[in-house]
Amino acid sequence: MQMGAYKMNFQQMILKLQEYWSNQGCIIMQAYDSEKGAGTMNPATFLRALGPEPWKVCYTEPSRRPADARYGENPNRLYQHHQFQVIMKPSPDNIQDIYLKSLEAIGINPREHDIRFVEDNWENPTFGAWGLGWEVWLDGMEITQFTYFQQVGSIDCELESAELTYGLERIALYLQEKNNVYDIDFTDEIKYGEVFKKAEYEHSVYSFELSDKDMLLNMFNTYEKEATRLIDEGLVMPAYDYVLKSSHAFNLLDARGAIGVSQRALYIGRVRNMARKIASAYVKQREEMGFPLLKGGDINE
């Protein structure tokens, strides 16, 4: 850390990143209002990464991972953490430099640290997505996932996006020189723990002890049925909402230990199957619309 450098609080960090990426031409979107395990599953990434249309976006995504819940007692692991997600499609030639400048914007001067791009082959089998890239290391700690998407929804990406996923809590721990996530200054007055600790505890109790397995299994099946019906009706977005819901129901079941290892693959296959159908329905829909963003058309189509 630079001597006497101003230590940004959590909120300022997010604001800075938004400002920075908005200057790079990104739309600042808000988190998608449905539970999900990662910012990649926000339709602003998952769907927009498909097809030939350019797309630049950034947003903060609260990401729920029931199996990582720790009753608010672990200094690093959380039921819900925050990702700052950036999509640059197509990936500009100097995307690495643009990314590194974003670190400077939040007070990380590369000259004073050791920043490395360490091989990482990112994969999300549930959503039929993979790409190549790196974990970005700051003095030995992973702070960002940097991926060039190759496939999404089991469909080859026609125009490859660069996806940047910042682990906000980790970066904040480092910037603020804290050892426990709950001690992070959310603002100068409010700590992270004051906002989230109780929720972390409750979600842990729910995920591991009190969730209703039968209800969740029923919901998974119901969501799947609804998603399939809506795909057949050609309603991509509503169908995708139900895929997200079924994926979250699966994550809850998984955390509860309600799904055996052999069955796990079957459930993942079911979600992947829905994701694949929606991905191809989306591409088809955009094609029928004449790929509006390709022609510099109206975003509010």
Binding mask 161-200 for other proteins (x = CB under 8 A): -------------x--------------------------
Stretch that binds other proteins, among 115-123, 205-213, 227-235, 271-279 (CB under 8 A): 115-123
In the complex, least distance from residue 229 CB atom to other proteins, rounded to whole angstroms: 30
Taking CB under 8 A as the rule, does residue 70 contact other proteins? no
Binding mask 205-244 for other proteins (x = CB under 8 A): ----------------------------------------
Shorter beta-carbon distance to other proteins: residue 62 or 90: 90
Taking CB under 8 A as the rule, does residue 73 contact other proteins? no
Query: What's the rounded Cα separation, in Å, for the pair 259 and 268?
Result: 11
**Both tokens assigned to 236:** 């991509």
Taking CB under 8 A as the rule, does residue 260 contact other proteins? yes
The DSSP annotation for the chain comes to --TT-----HHHHHHHHHHHHHHTT-EEPPPPSS--SSGGGSHHHHTTTSSS--EEEEEEEEEE-GGG--TT-SSS--SEEEEEEEEEESPPTTHHHHHHHHHHHTT--GGGS-EEEEEEEEEEGGGTEEEEEEEEEETTEEEEEEEEEEEETTEE-SSPPEEEEEEHHHHHHHHTT-SSGGGSBSSSS-BHHHHHHHHHHHHHHIIIII--HHHHHHHHHHHHHHHHHHHHTT-HHHHHHHHHHHHHHHHHHHHTT-S-HHHHHHHHHHHHHHHHHHHHHHHHHHHHTT-GGGGT--TT-
Taking CB under 8 A as the rule, does residue 118 contact other proteins? yes
> Residues 112, 194, 212, 287: which binds other proteins (CB under 8 A)?
112
Taking CB under 8 A as the rule, does residue 110 contact other proteins? yes
Binding mask 120-139 for other proteins (x = CB under 8 A): -x---------xxxx---xx
In the complex, least distance from residue 116 CB atom to other proteins, rounded to whole angstroms: 6
Taking CB under 8 A as the rule, does residue 5 contact other proteins? no
Taking CB under 8 A as the rule, does residue 159 contact other proteins? yes
Taking CB under 8 A as the rule, does residue 111 contact other proteins? yes
Taking CB under 8 A as the rule, does residue 289 contact other proteins? no
Taking CB under 8 A as the rule, does residue 295 contact other proteins? no
